[in-house]
A and B are shown apart, each in its own frame.
Chain A
Amino acid sequence: MKQIPNRLKVGVPKTLFASYNLSYWQRFLTLSGMEVVFSGESTKETADRGGRLLPHEFCIPIKIFMGHILDLLDKGVDQILLPRMTDRNKTNFFCPKLIGLPEIVKFSLNLEEKRFFSPEVICNGLNPKVVRFPVTAAASLQQMKRVEKQALKYWEETLDNCRKQQITLPEAALKTSLETSRETALKISPETAGRGKLKQPEHHLCVGLLGYAYSLYDPFINKGIQRKLDKLKIRVYTWEMLEPETIETSLRGLKRPIFWNFGRMLLGAGLHFLKDPAIDGIIYVTTFGCGPDSVAAEILNLEAEKHQKPFLLINLDEHTEDGHLFTRLEAFADMLSTFKEDNAV
């Protein structure tokens, strides 16, 4: 690609929506001729700085998101990627806090509209889709439309890799990025990418691990939960490893459909895991203050009881202690082993 002297510098907060489809956004922006700047990793400071801008009962992911925005502003970006997350067909919805995100950011930071790059986006839980492109000097509408298709294809490949190789999203993203050009290579640290292991002989338990990408794969929030499970010889399965039809089929059994786009993926996967004899138990990771999870996790909890499958709800907050978390996971693993033995006889 030609080097353009003054490319528009667009900051991408590496959390929330971008935790899902970072590669999509990166592709889209780079191919539209913009320079992409990522925010740094989440830290305690990110959370504290962001948290100060919001009412205290906001969920941690949004507080951290605000911190990422501040970080990008510090880095001197021209614009910040802040998609307007909407819904056009009333079949699935973003979480209300994500719907209101552009205004929350704009008014709590007192920033002008022109500081944001805000395509209007819908999402069915799997694929993002831009339904309205913002006007920008960097690229024409045609160009953006074209590269959005490419970006989407790239994202679909990433998801496909998750399914084919039974790996998590960050692992797949890391793999694909190694195989593609430098220009669009993802800047993901190996820590974010987890350990990237397939089931190995030492794994003797299988667990369905559920949580939003921005919590589950953010090392600051997740307190290294995947590493801990690995240490306990537990192999994890996540929603992105399942075929979309599998998820949809299990959701079809619900008397009342669930409408949150990311939440329904988790619930659908969870309902499938309940019926899958290969899965010994389910761990649902939620964060303090999450609204949709208070419904989705409870539905799953009640269903798990009916299916007699062990279910563990982990509610992470800023004060979750490493040791305490490990103890809980350890106890759960013990229970799963006993349960498995009992059922084997």
Chain B
Amino acid sequence: MKITFPYMGPVFAYRKLFEGLGHEVVIPPRPSQRTIELGIKYSPEFICFPFKIILGSYLEALEQGADLIVTTGFIGACRAVYYGNLSERILHKLGFPVEVTVFDSPGEDLRGFLRNCRKLGNHTPFPKVVRTLELVIRLIFAHDYYQKKLNHLRPYERIPGNCSRKWIEIQQLLDSCNSLKELKEVLPEANRIIAGIPIDPERTILKVGLVGEIYLVMESFANHEVEERLAKLGVEVVRNQYISNWVTHFVLPPKRLLRQADPYLKHSAGGHEKENIGYILKYRQMGFDGIIHLLPFGCMPELVTQSLIPALSANLNLPILSLSLDEQLGWVNHMIRLEAFVELLWTRYGQAKEKINDGKVVCRS
């Protein structure tokens, strides 16, 4: 069987996982305009935007011969729980004899989890499974580590677009590793690449936290390269939605962060909304200049966050811009709002600085 999976995060690492288990793999192509159009065409009209993108990319992977989709489900109140099952139904209706294997957390459905593991395990000897898993997890963490680094450097880069180009190089480097040993060897190389990026450390920049629905926050094609656009406006973007964080939080839920969000939202509504509120509070403590909140049009858990944002923003004295994105690729409007927002942040920054110089207030914002 030829395996494919949702396009999300470090897809090259997932390929290594399944190849390590002896499967053939089709990596879904990076979503394009065509992907989105395909997704829209065959999705229910009012389903969330990420579902449409993912369905579109499944269709592209199926064109390339994939016949088994592996994805995660989990149990909760969010629609993402049904992504796998719903796409399976739609693909069957379209006549694709595809199978969709949905992984729930072992805590929720241990038997199903083990059944899936056995199926995908493909009689691979246990030591090899462990080795493969370790490599994949290390790759994911390395991927995210360098992405964070580059996001941090981007607003300081002297040559526009340099960080993004180097990012492609680093991804290729990581992709070339087929064992832990090789990974160890390329890491210094990756560090060298990063150290070689000419930067201007004296530049004054703003710091903004990016929160929201995980798919839109993580995937640059879905959020119109918001990180790069902001970097051009002199803004460093910090986010905490990475696959590695997701894995960490899955194993060890960020209890403190969630507890801090309690006054704003007692019970999780099934997505990352509570975590996001926790991060907004944390970024405020860290002295960030503002927050950008992204959600797909109609996303239920993030709409809950969005309705709390006016209160959060007022209570924290922190500008928050919430952008709801959909498949209508009209980014112009959002760009205008984004620019105006950054403008506002710069003004606030200037005012705070004046106050400091006057010796009245010593803290920013």
Contact = CB atoms under 8 A, between A and B. Distances in A.
A294 B78 contact: no
Given A55-B303, A107-B308, A298-B86, A259 B298 contact: no
Interface in B297-337: 297-301, 303-304, 306-308, 310-312, 322, 324
A136 interface: no
B300 A55 contact: no
Nearest to B92: A302
B304 A97 contact: yes
A292 B304 CA distance: 15
Interface string B73-116: 10111110110111011100100000000100000100000000
Nearest to A97: B300
B276 to A, nearest CB: 12
B341 interface: no
A102 B266 contact: yes
Contacts of A293: 46
A54 B44 contact: no
A299 interface: yes
Nearest to B76: A93
Contacts of B86: 295, 298-299
A302 B93 contact: yes
A94 B301 CA distance: 12
Contact of B301 (A96, A255, A258): A96
B108 A99 contact: no
B44 A108 contact: no
Given A294-B46, A297-B44, A55 B75 contact: no
Interface stretch (B24-32, B203-211, B267-275, B282-290): B267-275
A173 B93 CA distance: 41
Contact of A103 (B78, B88, B308, B324): B308
B47 interface: yes
Given A108-B311, A298-B44, A55 B270 contact: no
Interface residues of A, number: 40
Contact of B300 (A90, A110, A291, A301): A291
Given A84-B267, A295-B47, A302-B93, A95 B77 contact: yes
B281 interface: no
A289 interface: yes
B307 A55 contact: yes
A285 to B, nearest CB: 14
B44 A294 contact: yes
Nearest to B90: A302
Contacts of B82: 256, 258, 295, 299
Contacts of A103: 264-266, 304, 308
Given A93-B76, A295-B82, A104 B102 contact: no
Contacts of A96: 77-78, 269-271, 273, 300-301, 303-304
Q: Which residue among A54, A86, A295 has the maximum number of chain B CB atoms within 10 Å of its CB?
A: A295
Nearest to B299: A291
Nearest to A315: B46
Interface of B: 44-48, 73, 75-79, 81-82, 84-86, 88-90, 93, 102, 108, 264-271, 273, 297-301, 303-304, 306-308, 310-312, 322, 324
8 contacts: A55-B322, A57-B297, A84-B266, A95-B300, A99-B269, A100-B265, A103-B264, A256-B84
Given A96-B304, A291-B298, A291-B300, 10 more contacts: A84-B267, A93-B270, A96-B78, A97-B304, A108-B311, A256-B84, A289-B46, A291-B48, A294-B45, A294-B79
6 closest A-B pairs (Cβ-Cβ)? A100-B304, A96-B269, A93-B77, A107-B311, A96-B300, A256-B85
